[in-house]
Amino acid sequence: MSNKSNAPKNKPEAAPAPGGRHRGPASMSQVVGSMGSLKRVMKMYIKQFPVLTWVIVLCNVYNAVAAALPMVFLQKVTVVIEETLASGDWETAKIKIISFLIPLICIYAGAAIVSILQSQLMAYMTQKFLHKLRTDLFNKMQTLPLRYFDTHKHGDIMSHYTNDIDTLRQLVSMAIPTIIRAGVVVITVFITMLRYSFWLTLIMVVGIIAMMFATGKVGAGSAKYFIRQQKAVASTEGFIQEIMNGQKVVKVFNHEDKVTEEFNRLNDGLAEDSGKANTYANILAPIIGNIGNIIYVLLAVGGGLMTVLGVVNVSFSGLPMGIDIIVPFLNGSKQFMGNINQLTMQMNAIVMAGAGAQRIFDLLDEEPEADDGYVTLVNANIAPDGTITEADHQTGHWAWKHPHKAEGTITYTELKGDVLLDSVDFGYVPEKQVLFDVSVFAKPGQKVAFVGATGAGKTTITNLINRFYDIADGKIRYDGINVNKIVKKDLRRSLGLVLQETNLFTGTVMENIRYGRLDATDEECREAARLAGAADFVERLPGGYDTMLTNNGANLSQGQRQLLAIARAAVANPPVMIMDEATSSIDTRTEAIVQRGMDKLMEGRTVFVIAHRLSTVMNSDVIMVLDHGKIIERGSHEQLIAEKGTYYQLYTGAFELE
């Protein structure tokens, strides 16, 4: 049965290499794509807050209408003043003006209350929305295959949670409310202008067309560079994270000047992109402002000329052209242009949010790790005659529950750790095969070792057993079951893995050991530490098992971290153990201690061992010698020594593993 590979590329390509970055303006398709991502953001936002979104909209509409009222108020006051200048009755004028002021004050008092309500709701909704988005990102990340993390810089991934999320915070908390409020003001003022004078409104329309042209030209350039800026930020953060992780290597090889040069190159690129983006964005406001000033002058001159020449005013109000039309119209034009300016100023936030949203959705839209397995791991009761039944509690025995859809039956197979690789081919990319016709079998309790030069395919084989990657051809069977049929989570639960590179998490020593099995008791964790040979040094720590570990256990030696990793695997108590250079970071004296613990740990288990130190594999039941993805020799230590082939030459020092 063939299983075509969807494995990743060998090297990361998604993020720029150190010193390199995305060059050239973002394409128009990227700009359009970012705008499409914004639509998705808004749909998610409205779906999460269907009622509160409309409350916010109504609050903004109320405030916008309140902001547009001065034009109407000024027109009425101007009429009163004109009438009073003719009649001289200032007492009546005061009463009329006060009658206008009182409702205006009440409306503005209501606007203050509405503004407070809106700000509180926006703070609540924004943080809830970002919380959900971060949760979705993290949950999605847990479903992705290893190839995603192999092909993306970790700093670039982190940028999704920081910079990209922050662009959306600015969008939903500031830009969108401003757009709604300014947009309603613009519409309200425009309608009011039409009510007072069609001719003066026509002059405004000319100004609007000029503004739209300027916004389109300048805004397009701004959008391209803001998208580039967002990518440059991610690349820079990815580089910084790499250097932080490898700071010891940088210093030991005196590489400070080189990495500083590489960082300056990235940082200069970021500054260049940011500078161009903000240059475009910042020249837009002066352009819009000056167009507004020109329109203001044209309105004043045009209105004055029409008044002097007696041009008939076309309007819905029926009022003649005069000072009571021109003065509020000029005031309204300032308000109109001011809000247009506010709308254009939100373009920065919109474009940045579009770029951030596109990157976020790129991650959310990644294909999750495929898992079409249906065979699960269950607690089992095993009768003396070998009959297996499923148990609803821990029994110390496990079995594979295999439903047969065609027959409508369920069979149970005891979990023993019988592993078979039959004629397996594999390549990380289809055009570059790395394993060729590999066949390996390991019976329960056997210890199988892989030796060979770096890149021979040793670790790749173990990665295929737990389905971190899928094979291109051949079969892998576990207790006689094709691993493709086994649910990945259950498959991996039955496998213990100790890697050369240890990963300890922020928490106590006890919590790090318990990571292997979350329901393990404290005593089981201590027993696992004793088995791995870690108990002695743990008990000498200031807090013992309650000692806090941070920064990947930086307060421990490499050997101590490795011992805790072995203890973590021991507490999981799986039937199959994979030791990938598990003792390579431990000195010879510590290795002897660990080896005794590992020997106890491996008793009764199927074990796959990868090691450069041949002393650690001598007692294996079978040793596989790999070269360029092929098994060239197999047998026990004694058999291979007698054959005097590659293994013999490696053992006697005639060849080096590298």
pLDDT tens digits, residue range 29-69?
A: 544 556 778 888 888 989 999 999 999 889 988 887 887 77
Q: What is the pLDDT of residue 27?
A: 45
Residues in the chain: 658
Listing DSSP states for 346-410 in one string gives THHHHHHHHHHHHHHHHHHTSPPPP----BEEEEEEE-TT--EEE-SS--S-EEEEEEETTTTEE
The number of helices, as runs of H, and strands, as runs of E, in the chain is 21, 16
Instruction: Report the C-alpha gap between 184 and 657 in whole angstroms.
Output: 74
Q: What is the pLDDT of residues 563-603, one digit of tens each?
A: 888 889 888 888 898 888 766 666 667 667 667 767 777 77
Token readout for 195 is 């009510």
- Which percentage of the chain shows pLDDT scores above 70? 89
Instruction: Report the C-alpha gap between 476 and 153 in whole angstroms.
Output: 31
Name the DSSP letter for residue 173.
I
Instruction: Report the C-alpha gap between 529 and 514 in whole angstroms.
Output: 10
Residue 349 belongs to a domain:
yes
Residues 6+ apart with CB under 8 A from 467: 483, 488, 491, 492
Instruction: Report the C-alpha gap between 64 and 333 in whole angstroms.
Output: 15
Query: In terms of domains, do 407 and 425 share one?
Result: no
Query: In terms of domains, do 353 and 407 share one?
Result: no
Residue 87 belongs to a domain:
yes
Query: In terms of domains, do 588 and 643 share one?
Result: yes
- Residue-averaged pLDDT of the chain: 83
Query: In terms of domains, do 474 and 487 share one?
Result: yes
Instruction: Report the C-alpha gap between 160 and 172 in whole angstroms.
Output: 17
Q: What is the pLDDT of residue 99?
A: 81
Residue 539 belongs to a domain:
yes
Q: What is the pLDDT of residue 77?
A: 77
Neighbours of 216 (CB within 10 A): 9
Q: What is the pLDDT of residue 15?
A: 37
Q: What is the pLDDT of residues 243-264, one digit of tens each?
A: 877 776 777 667 788 888 888 8
Residue 30 belongs to a domain:
no
Residue 317 belongs to a domain:
yes
Q: What is the pLDDT of residue 422?
A: 94
Report in angstroms the alpha-carbon separations of 219 from 267, 280, 284: 24, 7, 8
Residue 2 belongs to a domain:
no
Query: In terms of domains, do 568 and 555 share one?
Result: yes
Q: What is the pLDDT of residue 106?
A: 87
Instruction: Report the C-alpha gap between 481 and 486 in whole angstroms.
Output: 8
Q: What is the pLDDT of residue 220?
A: 66
Token readout for 22 is 């995305």
The average pLDDT across 472-487 equals 94
Instruction: Report the C-alpha gap between 474 and 631 in whole angstroms.
Output: 15
Nearest alpha carbon to residue 478 among 460, 461, 491, 463: 491
Three-class SS of residue 474? strand
Q: Dihedral angle at the C-alpha atoms of 499, 503, 509, 515, nearest 10 degrees? A: -80
Q: Find the radius of gyration of the CA atoms of the chain.
A: 36
- Are the beta carbons of 510 and 525 closer than 8 angstroms? yes
Residues 6+ apart with CB under 8 A from 219: 280, 284, 344, 347, 351
Q: What is the pLDDT of residue 538?
A: 93
Q: Are strands 495-498 and 576-580 parallel, antiparallel or unpaired?
A: parallel
Q: What is the pLDDT of residues 409-450, one digit of tens each?
A: 999 999 999 999 999 999 988 888 999 999 999 998 899 999
The average pLDDT across 379-396 equals 88
- Which percentage of the chain shows pLDDT scores above 90? 25
423: number of CA atoms within 13 Å, CB side? 5
The average pLDDT across 194-223 equals 80
Q: What is the pLDDT of residues 127-161, one digit of tens each?
A: 999 999 999 999 999 899 888 888 888 878 888 88
In degrees, rounded to 5, the angle at the alpha carbon of residue 168 between the alpha carbons of residues 164 and 170 is 115
Query: In terms of domains, do 401 and 484 share one?
Result: no
Please give the tally of structural domains in the chain: 3
Listing DSSP states for 405-425 in one string gives TTTTEEEEEE----EEEEEEE
Query: In terms of domains, do 293 and 146 share one?
Result: yes
Instruction: Report the C-alpha gap between 235 and 224 in whole angstroms.
Output: 17
Q: Give 88's pLDDT tier (boundaries 50, 70, 90).
A: confident
Q: What is the pLDDT of residue 39?
A: 86
Q: What is the pLDDT of residue 212?
A: 79
Query: In terms of domains, do 404 and 423 share one?
Result: no
Token readout for 64 is 């916008």
Q: Are strands 622-627 and 630-635 parallel, antiparallel or unpaired?
A: antiparallel
202: number of CA atoms within 13 Å, CB side? 8
Residue 11 belongs to a domain:
no
Three-class SS of residue 447? strand
Nearest alpha carbon to residue 550 among 504, 498, 499, 502: 504
Query: In terms of domains, do 472 and 350 share one?
Result: no
Write out the residue range of the structural domain in which residue 464 sits: 419-652
Kindly list the strands in the beta sheet with 376-382, ordered across the sheet, starting from the edge strand earlier in the chain. Answer: 388-390, 376-382, 398-404, 409-414
Three-class SS of residue 18? coil
Residue 532 sits in a domain of what CATH number?
A: 3.40.50.300
Token readout for 398 is 């496990």
Query: In terms of domains, do 326 and 343 share one?
Result: yes
Does 317 score more than 80 pLDDT?
no
Instruction: Report the C-alpha gap between 56 and 178 in whole angstroms.
Output: 11
Q: What is the pLDDT of residues 497-544, one digit of tens each?
A: 888 778 888 899 999 999 888 889 999 999 999 888 889 899 999 999
Instruction: Report the C-alpha gap between 240 and 217 in whole angstroms.
Output: 35
Query: In terms of domains, do 103 and 51 share one?
Result: yes
Residue 555 belongs to a domain:
yes
Q: Give 18's pLDDT tier (boundaries 50, 70, 90).
A: very low
The average pLDDT across 605-632 equals 87
Q: What is the end-to-end Cα distance of the chain in Å, rounded?
A: 35
Query: In terms of domains, do 300 and 402 share one?
Result: no
Does 19 score more than 80 pLDDT?
no
Does 4 score more than 60 pLDDT?
no
- Are the beta carbons of 626 and 632 closer than 8 angstroms? yes
Instruction: Report the C-alpha gap between 135 and 44 in whole angstroms.
Output: 14
104 or 629: whose pLDDT is higher? 629
Does 485 score more than 90 pLDDT?
yes
Q: Give 80's pLDDT tier (boundaries 50, 70, 90).
A: confident
- Contacts of 113-117 spanning 24+ positions with Cβ under 8 A: 114/59, 114/62, 114/63, 115/59, 115/63, 117/59
Q: Give 16's pLDDT tier (boundaries 50, 70, 90).
A: very low
Instruction: Report the C-alpha gap between 380 and 395 in whole angstroms.
Output: 6
Amino acid (1-letter code) at residue 412: Y
**Highest mean pLDDT range out of 280-289, 463-472, 582-591?**
463-472
Run of H or E including 291: helix 256-309
Q: What is the pLDDT of residue 23?
A: 40
Q: What are phi and psi of 403, to 5 degrees?
A: -80, 135
Q: What is the pLDDT of residue 179?
A: 86
Q: Give 547's pLDDT tier (boundaries 50, 70, 90).
A: very high
Give Cα 569 distance to the centre of its chain.
29
Residue 188 sits in a domain of what CATH number?
A: 1.20.1560.10
Instruction: Report the C-alpha gap between 159 and 142 in whole angstroms.
Output: 17
Q: What are phi and psi of 608, to 5 degrees?
A: -110, 125
